[in-house]
Amino acid sequence: MTRYGIPFLLAASLFFYGYWNPYYLLLIFFSILSTYLSALALQQFEKDLRFRKLILLSAILINFAILIVFKYYNFFAKELSQFQSLIHFPFLDILLPVGISFYTFQAIGYLIDVYRNEISAERDFFTYSLFVTFFPQLVAGPIEKSTHLLPQFKERENVSKEDFLSGLDLILWGLLKKVVIADRAAVYVNSVYNEPQTQEPLTLLVGSILFSVQIYCDFSGYSDIAVGTARSFGFKLIQNFNRPYFATSIIEFWNRWHISLTKWFREYLYIPLGGNRVSSVRGMLNILIVFSLSGFWHGANWTYLVWGLLHGFFLLSNRVLRKFHFFSFFSEKRWLNAFLRFQKMLLTFCLVSLAWIFFRADSLHNAVLILKRIFFEMKVDLSSIQSSVLPFTHSNTSIAYALILFLWICIVFYIEKKEKIEFHLTTRFLILGSILIFGNFNSSSFLYFQF
């Protein structure tokens, strides 16, 4: 990177973050300073293992404390006040700083890497600050590992034409997924989830399936834009998604969905807890701990915890079923194999969508209500089919909105089925035109910005 590259990118990143709320720059600065100094101290006292442990734990605790106060305090204060009416916890009038969960995890990951001697402590404060605040991935990831991103800031390489163009392609593709699919689906999903009690069961089912599509296109769209932006500057970020809805099991799904977070939890929590090298009961418990924390990481609400736990149970069931080698006798027949693969894909998608209901619902009560209505009150007739199309515009024109959304979902998923997305000039113009014409530009933000 050129001499002025790092200060320039750092200034751009800080401006980007401070533009939203300059006061929260102090918070991120504190996080940077505490982890920067702690890492240097870890390196300094290389021989004193107990002191190193103390430094690491203190730094982790301080950073998690900030995260807990800003993200979880009001939630727990409310829950505890309800539980024990004699004690009243004051409500803090604070906004959740954008990206706090992401940059806190990235900074803590770096500290652990230094503690494990996987990387030397970064001496240059600007370079380290850029590692924490690098603008493409600051607000919603991917959560980068220090051994992957930090060395890239030191390499003095020019941006290749291929990198620049493939970066632009990713940005275009991400935008297409965000504004053409996610934001269109959001119109329906919001309408359904805002008042689930008044909706027909079929409408709730369609809304829940569309939320699965929305959250994927929204988050992976953002990740594509982030990875593409970084790539056009010459940096390679981790690919956060690998066609997750083509997964044929929950285990495979978690190797394809929000890859950077999954890796973080695996490397810094699951393996230190003992991973699967412990007794089977302890191993199961470890998985449930990791998934419940992963759920809570997304937000301060019981719905996220249930979402995480559900995935934990799904994953455990998946592991148990794997041991019995179900359906292995089919493997001889090719066509049966393909059919089975499709069924597994469908089942995985259904399970994931079921869990998303808890993720999206405002409360556990609403999530249970939605599930109850879908499973026990489902009725498919002409009137319910008609009602299930309406939430787009609340008039008959919804039919056209539904058709367009369906068409774009098919196009995008068909293209994404390929391993690598590469475009020619004409394709780029077509995608740009589609974004400009079919994009819904009324949405203000990305879903994962709230985490």
Partner 1 sequence: MNKNIFTIIAKSLICILVFVILLYLKNAYSYIFSSRTSGMIAVPKNGDLLFIGSSMTRQSYDTKLLNENLGLVYLVAYNGNQPCLILEEWRFLLARGVSWKKYYIEFYPQTSAVAPSISDLRIFLDSDLDLKLKYIRLLSLGRQLTFAEYYELFVTSNIELISTFLISKPLIDSLSYNGGYIGKMERGSDLESLDRESELIVLTTKEMDPNQKKCWADLFTFARSKSLEMEIWESPKYRAVGVHSHYTSIRNQMLEMTKRAGIPYRSLPFAVDDPSLFRDPIHLSTKGREIFTREVLKTF
Question: Segment contacting partner 1 (CB under 8 A): 144-152, 204-212, 362-370, 391-399?
Answer: 391-399
Cα separation, 247 vs 244, in Å, equals 5
Q: Which is nearer to partner 1, 25 or 411 (CB)?
A: 411
Largest CA distance in the chain: 74
User: Binders of partner 1 among 255-294, rule CB under 8 A?
Assistant: none
Angle, to 10 degrees, between the axis of helix 146-154 and the axis of helix 125-133?
A: 130
Q: Which is nearer to partner 1, 346 or 385 (CB)?
A: 385
Closest distance between partner 1 and the C-beta of residue 375, in Å?
Answer: 21
Yes or no: say if 176 and 430 are a contact pair by the CB < 8 Å rule. no
Closest distance between partner 1 and the C-beta of residue 134, in Å?
Answer: 30
Residue from the set 160, 343, 363, 396 that interacts with partner 1 by CB under 8 A: 396
Q: Where are the alpha helices (DSSP H) in 68-99?
A: 73-83
Per CB under 8 A, 23 contacts partner 1: no
Task: Report how many residues bind partner 1 under the rule CB under 8 A.
Answer: 25
Closest distance between partner 1 and the C-beta of residue 119, in Å?
Answer: 41
Cα separation, 284 vs 204, in Å, equals 33
Closest distance between partner 1 and the C-beta of residue 374, in Å?
Answer: 19
Closest distance between partner 1 and the C-beta of residue 437, in Å?
Answer: 6
Closest distance between partner 1 and the C-beta of residue 444, in Å?
Answer: 12
Q: Which is nearer to partner 1, 86 or 425 (CB)?
A: 425
Closest distance between partner 1 and the C-beta of residue 366, in Å?
Answer: 15
User: Binders of partner 1 among 183-222, rule CB under 8 A?
Assistant: 198
CA angle 304, 368, 385 (to 5 degrees): 115
Cα separation, 42 vs 44, in Å, equals 6
The gap between the terminal CA atoms of the chain, to the nearest Å, is 31
Question: Segment contacting partner 1 (CB under 8 A): 30-38, 110-118, 287-295, 403-411?
Answer: 403-411
Kindly write out the interface string for residues 325-364 of this chain, putting x where it contacts partner 1 by CB under 8 A and - elsewhere.
----------------------------------------
Q: What letters, b where the CB count within 10 A reaches 16 and e where it falls short, cover 55-85?
A: bbeebbeebeebbeebbbbbeebeeeeeeee
Cα separation, 18 vs 194, in Å, equals 32
Residue from the set 399, 411, 415, 421 that interacts with partner 1 by CB under 8 A: 399
Yes or no: say if 354 and 311 are a contact pair by the CB < 8 Å rule. no
Given the residues 148, 298, 311, 424, select the one marked as catalytic: 298
Cα separation, 15 vs 21, in Å, equals 10
Cα separation, 66 vs 73, in Å, equals 10
Q: Which is nearer to partner 1, 43 or 440 (CB)?
A: 440
- Encoded tokens for 180: 């053409």
User: Binders of partner 1 among 129-148, rule CB under 8 A?
Assistant: none
User: Binders of partner 1 among 369-388, rule CB under 8 A?
Assistant: 382-383, 386-387
- Encoded tokens for 421: 């997305």
User: Binders of partner 1 among 404-433, rule CB under 8 A?
Assistant: 404, 407, 425-426, 429, 433
Residue from the set 314, 401, 448, 451 that interacts with partner 1 by CB under 8 A: 401
| Contacts of residue 64, Cβ cutoff 8 Å, sequence gap at least 6 | 104, 108
Query: What's CA 207's distance to the chain center, in Å?
Result: 20
Per CB under 8 A, 368 contacts partner 1: no
Cα separation, 229 vs 156, in Å, equals 18
Closest distance between partner 1 and the C-beta of residue 203, in Å?
Answer: 13
Cα separation, 131 vs 151, in Å, equals 10
Per CB under 8 A, 443 contacts partner 1: no
Is 298 tagged catalytic? Answer: yes
Cα separation, 110 vs 42, in Å, equals 12
Cα separation, 266 vs 243, in Å, equals 20
Closest distance between partner 1 and the C-beta of residue 403, in Å?
Answer: 4
Q: Which is nearer to partner 1, 301 or 388 (CB)?
A: 388
Q: Which is nearer to partner 1, 325 or 394 (CB)?
A: 394
- Which helix (H) or strand (E) element contains residue 284? helix 280-298
Q: Which is nearer to partner 1, 87 or 437 (CB)?
A: 437
| Contacts of residue 214, Cβ cutoff 8 Å, sequence gap at least 6 | 181, 182, 185, 186, 189, 447
DSSP 443: -
Q: Which is nearer to partner 1, 220 or 366 (CB)?
A: 366
Q: Which is nearer to partner 1, 324 or 441 (CB)?
A: 441
Residue from the set 45, 438, 443, 449 that interacts with partner 1 by CB under 8 A: 438
Residue from the set 69, 346, 385, 403 that interacts with partner 1 by CB under 8 A: 403
Active site residues: 298
In the complex, the residues that contact partner 1 under the rule CB under 8 A are 198, 382-383, 386-387, 394-397, 399-401, 403-404, 407, 425-426, 429, 433, 436-441
